[in-house]
Amino acid sequence: MTQTSIFVGLNDAVTHEQKFDTGSYLSVMKYICKAYGLAFSVHVVNGGYFHEDGSYVEENTLQLTVMDAPEVTVREIAKDLCAFFHQESVMVTSSEAKVYFVSEDLGLDN
């Protein structure tokens, strides 16, 4: 099974500042995933990186994780998020994952 994550920074590509509250960006991301019919997880993380000119930036980032999504769909979502969130680019990572589910009978069906 393939696990894919799309990392989307929330600072605007031009102003280098976050324009809206993080919850607003989360709502857009959830809407996009629902529109594509994907099960997903989203994590809010804080990260930092260096621009090509050497300047350092910290920003809030959303990490969207999907399992076994077709690569073409992942690319479409990444492009949509890049445009909607006004980003220069978004980062996509993909790797094989061993997935299994553990359950326990909690007696809730009484």
Please report which residue ranges of 4-70 form alpha helices under DSSP H: 22-36
Which pair of tokens denotes residue 16? 């280098």
For residue 7, tell me if it sits in a domain: yes
Residue 33 forms part of a structural domain:
yes
Q: Which residue has better confidence, 16 or 96? A: 96
Q: Is residue 104 part of a domain?
A: no
**How many domains does the structure of the chain reveal?**
1
Give the CATH number, domain containing residue 9.
3.30.70.120
Rounded Cα–Cα distance for residues 32 and 39 (Å): 11
Tens-place pLDDT, residues 31-63: 999 999 999 999 999 988 888 888 888 999 999
Q: What is the pTM of this model?
A: 0.87
Percentage of residues in the chain with pLDDT exceeding 70?
99
* 91 within domain boundaries: yes
